[in-house]
């Protein structure tokens, strides 16, 4: 089994989901008492979030590249960034280490195609919904994504940072996000991307009106494919 190097803490809530998913998937595939071999570097999210708010992506890139170097030095054979937004810094990380970075958008695209989705609705932080790094990668893989209108993007961003990243789950916010999804479906979406790794804490893909990919789960599946290959 290859050793995975996880950059977590962005946020700690979804990093827990990654650990649970990786452990479950390896146990299901190998049986018995098997679990995933991994090294976790969990950052303090507060200063990272402050840098994000200032859009100082060079600083976040330096921070994540340093974490990746430490994971590689400790024996990691691939890097897994336990977040969608911070894949904006994949170029910084790839320049810092020799081991591969398992990209969450690639894993998401594969899962969407397996479900027959062609025009997904991207639900994520404002950075992931509005910047090109994520949408362009999906488009290159044949999946042009829809995003909500600006007011919905702003509200979803607030729910993620002010609630989900802090472990707060509110029924009112669940209803609001379902409304965003309904508007996206009316605009032509034929699938849904939980494009923030915390959204799966609020909503269950099985309950959605369209085929849905939880990116944290898809990313963990791709990481286990690598680890056991």
What the chain holds in terms of domains, given with CATH numbers, is 4-103+218-228 (3.40.50.1860), 104-215 (3.40.50.1860)
CA–CA distance, 207 with 184 (Å, rounded to integer): 16
pLDDT tens across 118-169, in order? 999 999 999 999 999 999 999 999 999 999 999 999 999 999 999 999 999 9
Coil, helix or strand for 29? helix
The answer to whether the CB of 77 falls within 8 A of the CB of 3 is yes
Reported as a pLDDT band with limits 50, 70 and 90, residue 219 is: very high
Q: What is the mean pLDDT of residues 102-111?
A: 97
pTM comes to 0.94
């Amino acid at each position: 089994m290859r050793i995975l190097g996880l950059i977590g803490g962005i946020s700690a809530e979804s990093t827990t989901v990654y650990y649970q998913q990786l452990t479950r998937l390896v146990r299901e595939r190998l049986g018995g008492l098997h679990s995933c071999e991994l090294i976790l570097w969990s950052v303090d999210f507060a200063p990272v979030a402050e840098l994000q708010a200032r859009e100082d992506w060079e600083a976040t890139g330096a921070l994540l590249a340093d974490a990746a170097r430490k994971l590689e030095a400790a024996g990691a054979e691939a890097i897994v960034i336990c977040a969608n937004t911070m894949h904006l810094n994949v170029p910084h990380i790839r320049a810092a280490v020799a081991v591969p970075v398992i990209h969450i958008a690639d894993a998401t695209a594969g899962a969407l195609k397996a479900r027959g989705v062609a025009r997904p609705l991207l639900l994520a932080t404002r950075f992931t919904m509005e910047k090109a790094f994520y949408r362009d990668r999906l488009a290159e893989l044949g999946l042009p994504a829809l995003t909500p209108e600006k007011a919905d993007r702003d509200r979803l961003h607030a729910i993620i940072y002010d609630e989900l990243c802090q472990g707060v789950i509110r029924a009112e916010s669940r209803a609001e996000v379902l409304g965003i999804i309904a508007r996206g479906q009316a605009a032509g979406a034929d699938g849904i991307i939980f494009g923030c790794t915390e959204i799966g804490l609020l909503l269950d893909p099985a309950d959605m009106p369209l085929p849905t990919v939880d990116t944290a789960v898809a990313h963990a599946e791709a990481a286990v494919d690598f680890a056991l290959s």
